[in-house]
Amino acid sequence: MRTFIQAIIEFIKIILGKDKPLVPPIPPVIVVPLTLPHPEEASGTSARTIEDIKLEWFVQWDVPDKYIKFWNTVKIEVTTKVSVADTIAETKHMRINPQWVNQGVLAHEMAHISYALLTEQQKQDFILAYDSVIGAPLLVLLREQKPYSLTSMVEMHAEIYRYLGQSMMTELKLFYPKLF
Ligand SMILES: [Zn+2]
């Protein structure tokens, strides 16, 4: 039986708001869409020289200082003889169409030179390392948005560096000599 005192206590609880049902606050849901860390640059001729572009690549892809000298020995030819770009990794000779002189294309071609420094065993190990992180969201995104990466493992290697840069999975960085 409810006593007068109990009724008073209940009344005070109501006044103090203690009996109000607790509604947990709903945290705001912020969905940040995943994007490629180094998105595609606009193509087209630019007033920037190949040297300017190379400096931007060094900075934006965080190329280690100790390897800058090595990368400066790559001969870069700006020529309309190629539709986009190509590289003879062994002789470190790169050709880029003037319309495609940008950091991303440079990063892709430089990755081919880095790949050529791997031994045959390391090239096989790269495939295994890639398979071990194949489901990483950034790699899924890369394959979706840049199907050119699926052309071959060599192109995949270059596209991972070009679009992910320092954000690539740690397991893969081992296979990018002189870039990390
Ligand atoms: Zn390529």
Q: DSSP readout, 27-79? A: PP--------SSPPPPPS--SS-HHHHHHHHHHHTT--GGGHHHHHTSEEEE-
The position carrying tokens 């969905």 is 31
Question: Is 21 inside a domain boundary?
Answer: no
Whether residue 16 has pLDDT greater than 70: no
* Mean pLDDT in residue range 30-45: 89
Domain harbouring 156, CATH code: 1.10.10
Residues having C-beta closer than 5 Å to ion ligand 1: 158
Number of domains in the chain: 1
Residues 97-155: tens digit of each pLDDT: 999 999 999 999 999 999 999 999 999 999 999 999 999 999 999 999 999 999 999 99
Question: Is 9 inside a domain boundary?
Answer: no
Question: Is 80 inside a domain boundary?
Answer: yes
Question: Is 38 inside a domain boundary?
Answer: no
Cα 93 to ligand 1 centre (Å): 13
Cα 140 to ligand 1 centre (Å): 19
Cα 104 to ligand 1 centre (Å): 11
Cα 151 to ligand 1 centre (Å): 9
Question: Is 88 inside a domain boundary?
Answer: yes
pLDDT band for 44, please (50, 70, 90 cuts): confident
Question: Is 180 inside a domain boundary?
Answer: no
Residues 61-90: tens digit of each pLDDT: 999 999 999 999 999 999 999 999 999 999
Residues 85-97: tens digit of each pLDDT: 999 999 999 999 9
**Nearest 5 degrees, angle CA 160-CA 179-CA 118?**
80
Which residue segment(s) compose the domain that 124 sits in? 50-173
pTM of the model: 0.82
Cα 105 to ligand 1 centre (Å): 9
* DSSP state at residue 94: E
53 with 102: CB under 8 angstroms?
yes
Cα 1 to ligand 1 centre (Å): 85
